[in-house]
Homo-oligomer: A and B are copies of this chain.
Amino acid sequence: MSDAETSLDAAIAARLKRTPDGLVAAIVQEHGTGEVLMLAWMDEEALHRTLTTGKATYWSRSRREYWVKGATSGHTQRVRTVALDCDGDALLLTVEQTGAACHTGTHTCFTDELSVFTDELSVEGQ
């Protein structure tokens, strides 16, 4: 991106700790239910756009472009809060989700449950 496009507050930018490809992880949690819907990625510009428009905007690692969530599907995310974590490598967004958060059509992207060992029968899966 050009310098002209990047306008995230410098004080916020200075607190970000990026992956080797320049991104921070953005956890998306549904307002009201508390359900974790998805994880996406942001660079400085995506965070800037999200904070200034209230519309969740991410960086697509596969397509290498910005995407406003729901721009094509209609499954938008209206952002209520954004919080940065203690070491600056993750963001937590709370959103009002319209429709399915996952591109597969499910409400959340986390539908593939793995088996966890536990020695207490009472805490097994369900």
Contacts and interface: CB of A to CB of B under 8 A. Distances in A.
A19 B52 CA distance: 28
Given A29-B36, A39-B25, A124-B78, A83 B98 contact: no
A112 B85 contact: yes
Contacts of A87: 109
A104 interface: yes
Interface residues of A, number: 55
A91 to B, nearest CB: 8
A118 B84 contact: no
A65 interface: no
A114 to B, nearest CB: 5
A19 to B, nearest CB: 5
